[in-house]
Amino acid sequence: MTENPGTHAGLEIGDKVKVHSEGTSVFTTHEHCGDDALVESVLSAPGTYPFHTKLDRLVPVES
């Protein structure tokens, strides 16, 4: 997995992100707390749930 220093700068609540640069799944940020973020899949499917991850691993999804 590739590190992405600085890609989390400027992320806001509600932004769409991937959990790493080569990821295909898209998540929405729900809250930030220090170096952590609570994210949840944008897909509404059985078995999806919010989870915490490090902000410095998140990569903004390009529109």
Looking at residue 62, the DSSP 8-state letter turns out to be: P
Token representation of residue 45: 């499917």
> 2 versus 61: which is more confidently predicted?
61
Residues 6+ apart with CB under 8 A from 7: 21, 56, 58, 59, 60
| 36 found inside a domain | yes
Confidence of residue 5 (pLDDT cuts 50, 70, 90): very low
Tell me the pLDDT tens digit for each residue of 9-55: 688 999 999 998 888 999 999 999 889 999 999 998 888 899 999 99
| 6 found inside a domain | no
| 9 found inside a domain | no
| 10 found inside a domain | no
Please say whether the beta carbons of 25 and 18 come within 8 A: yes
| 50 found inside a domain | yes
| 7 found inside a domain | no
Q: Which residues pair with 54 in a beta bridge?
A: 36
Range of the domain at 44: 16-60
How many domains are contained in the chain?
Answer: 1
